[in-house]
């Protein structure tokens, strides 16, 4: 009976050694794995949605392959509304190799504005939940997660219509000049069309005008829109309806009363 | 008187060999632990309690091993061997819980799933425990066997 017992002892010792060496080397080889995240890039998808791309390079110089590598990003607002969700999955990162991938996230501004108009006019903080998961040596699952807070800059921050100026165009019509100003706090350049429709106190449409706006990111914008309106329809007060149309979103009407 | 002295000398010689064997095994195991510590330094930097947990485990394990070696040739050797296997199982459960370790490091939460490692380690410990039981039975069997004429 001694020999079988001894054999069991040798076998368990061998398996213990294998287990410990494998575990330690798998953990140790993590230090030779490099994750490089390059600067995020922004673009437009074919259906005019904002596309965030985060190019990343995973350089696996460790002793083992890395399995089921995934990066998940979830951006939500203070109320918990999920603005965007992105997931990138790489089944195997070979040892001694370099893997290049792009983590994409798509933001649909029109969907966002349906949830709240505040995103257009007010800066706010957004919550980012970032999760990176992988299987070390393809058998030890590891998940790293963090919560971040990012700044959301409103593209039409402090949008106001200035003092309306009236000038005679001809005997029957007036030229109404409506100054517009705002600050583009967004991370993108705002290029689009602003359209203003003028109504009198009886809700009758008096005229409309539009202008092309080009507001660089983090820059103020000042411009004006000219409308030709009939004198006959003018009343002491009324309102303007403002519409925005950009490559990222369409929004309106926003009502501004005048008197 | 000479018989007594010879007996004492033999006992001392046996004990010295056992002590030497225990010392060598202890030093060897501690050496392996020190080498492994170097490789596990990145983990210790993130999880400060990791080093302490491993150190405590190694200390108790070496103590049990040394006492087991000193009691070689007696039934206590097998009891201590079984205790050693049980200690490994209990300590693994104590240290790893359900096998999912969660560590918060600044704003980052790291979750490591060591269930597979835990299961294999516990199975190996159970095999070790079974081996100790078999050794005990074998030891008692040999003691009970009538001497061959």
Identify whether A253 is preceded by a cis peptide bond (ω within 30 of 0). Answer: yes
The whole-angstrom separation of Cα A206 and Cα A227 is 9
Q: Would you report the helix, strand and coil content of chain A in percent, each value rounded to 5?
A: 15, 60, 25
How many beta-carbon pairs under 8 angstroms link A with B? 68
Work out the pLDDT band at B39, boundaries 50, 70, 90: confident
Each residue's pLDDT tens digit, A173-189: 889 999 999 999 988 88
Query: What secondary structure does DSSP assign to B46-94, as a single string?
Result: H-HHHHHHHHHHHHHHHHHHHHHHHTTTSHHHHHHHHHHHHHHHHHHHH
Q: What is the pLDDT of residue B10?
A: 84
Neighbours of A79 (CB within 10 A): 7
Residues (pLDDT < 70) of chain A are none
Query: Is the CB of B36 inside 8 Å of chain A's CB atoms?
Result: yes
Q: What is the pLDDT of residue A28?
A: 86
Contact across the interface for B112 and A139, Cβ inside 8 Å: no
- Predicted ipTM? 0.84
Q: What is the pLDDT of residue B145?
A: 67
Q: What is the pLDDT of residue A115?
A: 81
B139 to chain A: closest CA residue: A2
**Does the predicted model carry a pTM greater than 0.90?**
no
Q: What is the pLDDT of residue B9?
A: 85
* Least confidently predicted of A195-204, B74-83, B138-147: B138-147
Q: What is the pLDDT of residue B1?
A: 59
Contacts of B113 in chain A (CB under 8 A): 140-143
Each residue's pLDDT tens digit, A156-167: 999 999 898 989
Choice between B2 and A174, residue whose per-residue pLDDT is larger: A174
Contacts of B122 in chain A (CB under 8 A): none
Q: What is the mean pLDDT of chain B?
A: 86
B103 to chain A: closest CA residue: A144
Q: What is the pLDDT of residue B116?
A: 92
Q: How far is the alpha carbon of A119 from chain B, nearest alpha carbon, in Å?
A: 27
The whole-angstrom separation of Cα B84 and Cα B61 is 7
Contact across the interface for A140 and B39, Cβ inside 8 Å: no
For chain B, the structural domain boundaries read 1-72, 75-149
| A132 contact partners, CB below 8 Å, separation of at least 6 | A35, A69, A70, A71, A72, A143, A144, A145
B109 to chain A: closest CA residue: A145
Contacts of B138 in chain A (CB under 8 A): 1-2, 5
């Amino acid at each position: 009976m001694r020999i079988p017992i001894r054999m069991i002892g040798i076998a368990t010792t061998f398996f213990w050694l294998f287990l410990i060496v494998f575990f330690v080397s798998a953990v140790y080889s993590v230090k030779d794995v490099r994750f490089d995240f390059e600067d995020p890039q922004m673009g437009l998808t074919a259906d005019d949605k904002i596309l965030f791309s985060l190019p990343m390079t995973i350089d696996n110089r460790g002793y083992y392959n890395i399995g089921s590598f995934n990066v998940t990003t979830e951006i939500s607002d203070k109320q918990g509304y999920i603005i965007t969700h992105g997931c990138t999955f790489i089944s195997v990162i070979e040892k001694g190799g370099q893997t290049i991938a792009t983590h994409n996230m798509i933001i649909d501004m029109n969907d966002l504005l349906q949830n709240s108009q505040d995103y257009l006019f007010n800066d706010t903080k957004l919550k980012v939940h970032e999760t990176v998961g992988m299987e070390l040596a393809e058998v030890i699952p590891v998940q790293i997660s963090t919560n971040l807070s990012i700044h959301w800059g409103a593209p039409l921050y402090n949008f106001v219509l200035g003092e309306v100026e009236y000038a005679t165009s001809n005997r029957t019509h007036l030229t109404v000049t409506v100054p517009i100003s705002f600050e583009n706090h967004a991370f993108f350049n705002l290029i689009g069309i602003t359209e203003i429709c003028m109504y009198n106190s009886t809700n009758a449409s008096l005229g409309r005008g539009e202008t092309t706006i080009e507001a660089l990111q983090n820059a103020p914008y000042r411009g004006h829109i000219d409308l030709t309106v009939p004198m006959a329809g003018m009343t002491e007060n009324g309102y303007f309806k403002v519409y925005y149309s950009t490559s990222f979103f369409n929004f309106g009407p926003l009502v501004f009363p005048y008197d | 008187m000479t018989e007594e002295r010879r007996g004492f000398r033999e006992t001392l010689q046996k004990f010295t060999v056992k002590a030497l064997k225990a010392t060598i095994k202890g030093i060897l195991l501690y050496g392996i632990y020190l080498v492994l510590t170097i490789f596990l330094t990145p983990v210790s930097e993130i999880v400060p309690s990791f080093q302490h947990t491993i150190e405590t485990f190694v200390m108790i394990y070496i103590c049990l091993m040394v006492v087991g070696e000193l009691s070689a040739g007696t039934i206590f050797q097998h009891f201590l061997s079984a205790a050693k296997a049980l200690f490994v199982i209990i300590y693994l459960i104590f240290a790893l819980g359900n096998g999912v370790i969660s560590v918060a490091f600044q704003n980052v939460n790291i979750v490591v799933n060591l269930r597979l490692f835990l299961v294999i380690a516990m199975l190996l410990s159970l095999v070790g425990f079974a081996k100790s039981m078999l050794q005990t039975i074998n030891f008692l069997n040999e003691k009970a066997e009538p001497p061959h004429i």
